[in-house]
Every structure is written in structure tokens, then in C-alpha cells.
Amino acid sequence: KKVPQRVYPVGRLDYNSSGLLLLTNDGEMAHRLMHPSFEVKKTYQVEVEKKVSEKYLQRLRRGIELEDGKTAPALVHEITSGKRGLLPCYEITIHEGRNRQVRRMFQAIGFPVVTLKRIRFGPVELDQDLPAGNFRPLTAQEIQRLKKAVKLKSH
């Protein structure tokens, strides 16, 4: 679909990932949403081949040592609704935005990611009824919440 004006992606999703991607025509907001100092939380649904034991979940919660340094602690818990319902599924929330970070974190504890889907970016949740590849404008309330999250004045 055609977007009516020039927009910038807020972060990115790697080729093998799906889910929420914010686009904005507000360069300052995009910058702040991506900058680690604002600690904007991003939540992902992750499917792995086998169940992750509590011991390994605790490692994710404390932060994982990766090639580019230790990650900040993550919020992570098991959920029941995987895409196909067959594989163990987890929800993980991070506020950093390193390249392929969630995949690398799970790989580091020995659980390669099968599917990865971003379901929340700050206060904005993925609209489950929106087909993949489509978009919708943010509501005034979502824009206001995003601005508040990155300490921008609302007009």
C-alpha cells in the first residue's frame, strides 16, 4: 500500500522476524524511540524447539553476555499461545535494540529461535486483526503515549 507521506521506520525487524514495525514522519520521535537512553520497551513472542528451564530463564532475566557486551536484564515468561500451538512459546521484553538481540540471547543459552514476532513497541500493541504487510495510522492516544514515553511535548 502507498503511504501518503515520507515516513521513517523506527528500528527494524530482521528478515526472519515478523510483527509490529512503527513508521513515523516525526524524525525526533523516531530518534528517541530508538535511542537506548530512553529505554523504550519492546516485547516479542518467541517460539523455540524445546522448553526453556527456569534456570535458563533466570539467565535471561539477569542479562546475557554476548559478543558485544552484556545485555540489560530482560522480562521473560512462558506463554501458552504459540503460532502453531506445538512449540514452547515465551514473551520477552527488552529495552535495548541491538542487532538480532533476542535471537542471540536465546542462542546464547542453547535455545535457537524458531519464530520471532514483535508484539509491542512501548505503549503500542500489535493489532492482531491487521493482516501481515498491512498498516494503519496510529490513534491520537497512541501518538500521545509514544511522545510521553520519550519525553516529547504533545501538541
- Whether 14 is a known active-site residue: answer yes
What backbone phi and psi angles, to 5 degrees, belong to 77? -155, 155
SS3 percent helix, strand, coil of the chain, rounded to 5, is 25, 25, 50
d(CA 30, CA 43): 18
Which residue among the candidates 14, 26, 68, 127 is catalytic per the annotation?
Answer: 14
* DSSP summary character for residue 38: G
d(CA 76, CA 83): 18
Contact 104, 66 (CB under 8 A): yes
| Active site (catalytic) residues | 14
